[in-house]
Structure 1
Amino acid sequence: MNTARWLLPLSISRLVSFQGRRWRLRGTMALVVSLVAIACSSPAQLPVASEEEAANGDRAANELTILWDKGYVLEEDEAIEKVVSDWEAKTGIEVTLSFYNSAEIAPKTLRSRQAGNPPDILLSVKSAYPISDWQGKLADVSAVILPMRDRYSKDALASAKMFGTTVPEGEYYGVPINQSSMHVHYWRDLLATAGYTAADIPTDWDGFWAFWQTVQSRLQATQNADIYGLGLPFSASAADTYQIFEQVLRAYNVRLLDEAGQLQVEDPTVRQGIVDSLNWYVQFYRQKSVPPQAVNWLDSDNNRAFLNREVVMTLNPTLSIPAAVRNDAETYFNQLGTIELPPKPDGTPLPHLVIVRKAIVFNDGPNQEAAKDFLAYLVQPEVLNTFLKSSYGRFSPPIDAIAQDPFWLNEQDPHVSTVNRTLVEGRVEVLENVRNPAYGVFLEENVWGEVLQRMAVENLSAEAGADIAIARLQAIFAEWQ
C-alpha cells in the first residue's frame, strides 16, 4: 500500500485549461501555505494581490474560472476534471480550473476579488465559508436549485440558503455538491491483537469510549508503548476539532441556538452543558489516551496518525481515510472498520452531524450565467452520481434519488454503506451555521479548538473555557444584528 501521495503536503496549485476532452497544463505556482485562522480576516488584512492575480482580470468574457479544493486523493481531482472537460465539449466555453488546499483557497479567493478578478465559481470543503467576507457578494443561484428542489435532501436545501433562516423563500446562494457525516474508523487487526473483535465494542456511551482506552493499555503492555487509543484533535488549527466537539455537544443535549437561529447561551443549563462537554473531551488528553501532538494537529494529521497506526480509532467528517486505502483490498475490506457513534449518555439516539458543501457564484463575476449553467450540469443526478462515485465515495450525494444507487448502500463496502445508511435513514443534524451564519463565523474562528488546546496545554478550566466561548459568541452575534 502506498499512502505517501495522500500524506504529502498539498501546496501546489494546478491551473488546467480544458479543450473538449483534452487538457493542457497552463502553469504551476508554488504558494506559501498559511495555516492561520482566516475566518475573521478582512480583505484589507490579507496580502495584496499578486501581479498574476491582477493580470488575470483581463481574461476573456467567455472563459470560466473555477477554484476547487484540492482532493485528498488524486481521483477526486480527476473526477472534477472529467466533468469540466465534458461540459466544455458540450458548450464550447473554455474553463480554467485551479486546485488549492483548504488553507490556501479562501485567501486566494479574497486576493483575487481584491484585484478585481473574482472567480466565477468557488467550491471549498470547509464546513462554512468565511461568510462575513461573502455577505452581499454572492449571486442568487435559485435558477439552479429550484428545478432540483424536490430532489435535494431537506438538509441540503436548508444549507443552500447560505445566510440562515432569514433568507426569503425561493432564494438560494449556494449549490449543494456533496454531504458527509461524522463516523468512527478503527483498526480491526489492532483490536484482534488486543484480544477483541468488533462485536466486543460497547454500544453505550461511557462503555464505548472506555473500551478504546482499554485497548490502548493492552497494546502498550504487549506491543507498542507509543500507540494511543483515541485520535481526537485538540488544536485550534484543525476544523476537525470543532466538528467533533460539536458532535459531543449534541451528545450532551447542548443546543446553543433555537430553531430561529437565536443564541441561548444566557440559559445557565446551556453554560453548564458546555462545561460538562469540555471536561468530558479534555479528560482523554489528560489521561494520555490521545497523542501529545494532537494539540498541534492540522486537519490531515489525525488521518496521518491513524494511517500510520499511531492511534487505534479516530473520528472523521468524511470518508477520506477509507478513500486513502481504497486500492489496497486487504486493508480496505479486512483491516479497516467504520461504525456509527454510540447513543447519547442518556441512552437516546445520537444524530450524526451532517456537513453540506456548496459551490458559490460571485455576483460580480464576469460569467455568472455560464457559471450557473455549469453548476446546473454538474448537479444533474447522472452527472453528480458519476462524479461522486469516481472520487471513491469520499463524499455522499445530497440528492435523495442518487443515494438509492446500489453503490452507496452496497453492504459489501463496509465504509460507504455505513455512512450512507446513516444519511438515507435521516439520523443526522446540520451544523448550527445553517440556522444563522453568525455561528459559521464562530466555527471558522475555531473557538472550540482554541479553548480545548488551552485546556490541554495551559490547564485552563472548563468554566473559564465556556465563558470564553460564550463571550465570543455574544460578540459575533451582536455584530450580526
Structure 2
Amino acid sequence: MQDVTRRAALGLGAAALAGPAMAQGSIPRTDAGPLRATPEAGATLRVIRPARFVEPDEVIFRQNAQRFQDRFNIPVRVDFVGWEDIRPQTAVVANTGTGPDVVIGWSDDPHIYADRVVELNDVADYLGQRYGGWMTLAERYGKRHNSNAWLGIPFGGNIGPCTYRVSAVKEAGFDRIPEDHEGFLRLCQALKRNNKPVGFALGNAVGDGNNFAQWLLWSHGAYLVDEEGKVAINSRETVEALKYLQELYPTFVAGTLSWLDPSNNRAYSAQEIFLTANGVSLYFTLKNDPKTAAIAEDTQHAFMPKGRASAPPQTATVMNAMVFRHTRYPNAAKAFIAFMLESEQYEPWMQGSLGYWAHPLKAYSASSVWTSDPKLTIFRETMETPFWSGYKGPISQASGAVAADYVLVQMCAAVATGQATPEAAAREAERRARRYYRAS
C-alpha cells in the first residue's frame, strides 16, 4: 500500500474538493432533521485514526476536519496512527480513561470496549435516514449483537480482492482467475514456473494477513465459531484448508511470513510478485505514478476463488469510529462524526481516494467514483459482503480479541513454515480462541 507522489495526490485532492456542491448533488439524500447533539461550549477534540495508504485519504480528511473546525469553532487535532499500532493505542485509551475523544479503530473494536464507549444511536439514526440506510456490514459492526444500540459508526471498508497482472495470468494459460481451489493452485504454480510468483501476507497484518487467512478458511467451509458463538475452528474443513495452504505456499515469493500491510504493495510495484490480494490503494499508486502506469494498465481485480462458498468469501477491513466515555465533549464528538459522513465531505474524500474506503451508507452507491474506472466497480459493494470477522458467530468482545491477537493468521503461518501440522495448528487455534470466548 505504497503512497502516491505528493504532486499526484494533491492534484487529485484539489480536483475532488473543487466543487462540494456538485459532489453533494450526485448523492441522493433526504431531510432527516438536525442532529440533536449540540456541541458543548468551549469544546476541543482529539481524533486518532489509521494511517493513510493513499495520500488524498489524509489530505482530504484533514481538510474536512478543518472545515468542521471553521464551522463550529471547535479546535480539532487529528493524528494518523500505523495500522498495527491503532489497537494497542486504543487499549491504552480504554484502560486509562484518558486520551483521544474519537478513536476511529478497526472493525469489531467498539465491541471490545462496549462498556466504555458512548452509544451513538442518534448519529446512526440521523445518517441512516438521510442517506438511504446503512449497508449490511456497517450495521453488523456498528450495532451491539441482538440490539439496536450503536457502539460504533463505520466510516468505510476496504476489501482485498485478487489483484493481478493480466499478461502474466494469460502467459500462465488462464483467461481469468479460477473460482475453484484446484484451478487457482494450478494458476499459482504456473506463475511460479514462469518466474512470476504470487504473494499473500502471512505476517501480523491487520488487513492483508487477516484477509488471506479468512478467505482460506471460508472458501473451504470452515469458520471460527458457529451461529451461537461456540468455537468451531478445529474442524475437518479447517484441516483441509490448511492442507491446501501446504500446496499453495510454495508458490509464494520468499518473505511473506513477515509481511505487514504495505509489503505486498511494494513487492507488486517492484514486479517481484504478479498476483496478490489488495484494496484500491495498490492500483491507485500504480495509476498515479508515471513510472508504474504501464503496470496499472496491465492490472485487474477479481474476487478471490469462491471454492465451496456460495458468495465471494471475503470481508472488509472496516474503519469504525467510537467515542469513549471519558470525553468531556461527547456531543462535539458526535457532531464531528456526522459532519465527516455528510456528502459535502464524504463524497470528495471518496472520489479523491478512488473509493479506497468504500461507503457504509447506501446512498453513496450512486457515487460516480464506482463507474469512473471499470477496475473500481468491484469495490462498490464492499460493505454488503455476507462475511465478517468472527463469522459465523456474533461480533463481540471475543471476536475482536481473536482478530487483534492474529489467531487465524498465526495458525496459517505455523502450517506454512512446517512448525505445526494442520491438525495441531487447528487445535492450537481452538485453544487460543476458547480463552477469549470463555471470558466474554
TM superposition score normalised by structure 2: 0.82
Kindly tell me: are residues 299 and 200 of structure 1, through their superposed partners in 2, closer, same or farther at Cα, counting changes over 3 Å?
Answer: closer
Kindly tell me: are residues 451 and 4 of structure 1, through their superposed partners in 2, closer, same or farther at Cα, counting changes over 3 Å?
Answer: closer
Report the counterpart of residue 158 of structure 1 in structure 2.
140
By how many angstroms is 1:200 displaced? Answer: 5.0
- Contact 2:141/2:395 (<8 A) preserved: no
Once the two structures are superposed, the pairs formed by residues 9-408 of structure 1 within 5 Å of their partners are 62-111=43-92, 117-124=98-105, 126-129=106-109, 132=112, 134-149=113-128, 150-161=132-143, 163=144, 165-166=145-146, 168-169=147-148, 171-191=149-169, 194=171, 196=173, 199=175, 201-217=177-193, 219-220=194-195, 227-228=196-197, 230-236=198-204, 239-259=207-227, 261-265=228-232, 271-285=235-249, 288-316=250-278, 318-328=279-289, 330-331=293-294, 333-345=296-308, 348-408=310-370
Instruction: Tell me the distance in 1 between the aligned counterparts of 2:178 and 2:229.
Output: 37
The answer to whether structure 1 residue 478 and structure 2 residue 435 are counterparts is no
The answer to whether structure 1 residue 429 and structure 2 residue 387 are counterparts is yes
Instruction: Tell me the distance in 1 between the aligned counterparts of 2:85 and 2:262.
Output: 15
Describe the superposition over 1:305-327 as per-residue Cα deviations: whole angstroms up to 9, x where unpaired: 122111110012x3221122231
- Contact 1:201/1:208 (<8 A) preserved: yes
Greater strand content: 1
By how many angstroms is 1:470 displaced? Answer: 1.0
Kindly tell me: are residues 365 and 291 of structure 1, through their superposed partners in 2, closer, same or farther at Cα, counting changes over 3 Å?
Answer: same
Instruction: Tell me the distance in 1 between the aligned counterparts of 2:377 and 2:283.
Output: 12
Describe the superposition over 1:270-302 as per-residue Cα deviations: whole angstroms up to 9, x where unpaired: 6111111111123222xx211231111122112
Describe the superposition over 1:383-405 as per-residue Cα deviations: whole angstroms up to 9, x where unpaired: 32222222232111111111122
Letter in 1 for 2:232: V
Greater relative contact order (Cα 8 A, min sep 6): structure 1 or 2? 2
Instruction: Tell me the distance in 2 between the aligned counterparts of 1:354 and 1:73.
Output: 17
5+ long unaligned stretches in structure 1: 8-59, 221-226
Letter in 2 for 1:206: E
Letter in 2 for 1:435: P
- Contact 2:156/2:357 (<8 A) preserved: yes
Match of residue 439, structure 1, among 391, 399, 403 = 399
Instruction: Tell me the distance in 2 between the aligned counterparts of 1:397 and 1:253.
Output: 28
Letter in 2 for 1:71: R
- Contact 2:306/2:312 (<8 A) preserved: yes
Letter in 1 for 2:353: S
Instruction: Tell me the distance in 2 between the aligned counterparts of 1:201 and 1:388.
Output: 28
Instruction: Tell me the distance in 2 between the aligned counterparts of 1:444 and 1:116.
Output: 20
Instruction: Tell me the distance in 2 between the aligned counterparts of 1:177 and 1:243.
Output: 19
Kindly tell me: are residues 203 and 100 of structure 1, through their superposed partners in 2, closer, same or farther at Cα, counting changes over 3 Å?
Answer: closer
Kindly tell me: are residues 427 and 97 of structure 1, through their superposed partners in 2, closer, same or farther at Cα, counting changes over 3 Å?
Answer: closer
Letter in 1 for 2:346: L
> 3-state SS of the aligned residue for 1:199?
coil
How many residue pairs align between the two structures?
Answer: 398
Kindly tell me: are residues 118 and 417 of structure 1, through their superposed partners in 2, closer, same or farther at Cα, counting changes over 3 Å?
Answer: same
Letter in 2 for 1:419: F
> 3-state SS of the aligned residue for 2:251?
coil
By how many angstroms is 1:117 displaced? Answer: 3.0
Describe the superposition over 1:419-475 as per-residue Cα deviations: whole angstroms up to 9, x where unpaired: 21x448x55422227823211211111112222222233441000000001111222
TM superposition score normalised by structure 1: 0.76
> 3-state SS of the aligned residue for 2:387?
strand
By how many angstroms is 1:368 displaced? Answer: 0.9
- Contact 1:181/1:428 (<8 A) preserved: no
Letter in 2 for 1:257: V
Describe the superposition over 1:35-62 as per-residue Cα deviations: whole angstroms up to 9, x where unpaired: xxxxxxxxxxxxxxxxxxxxxxxxx952
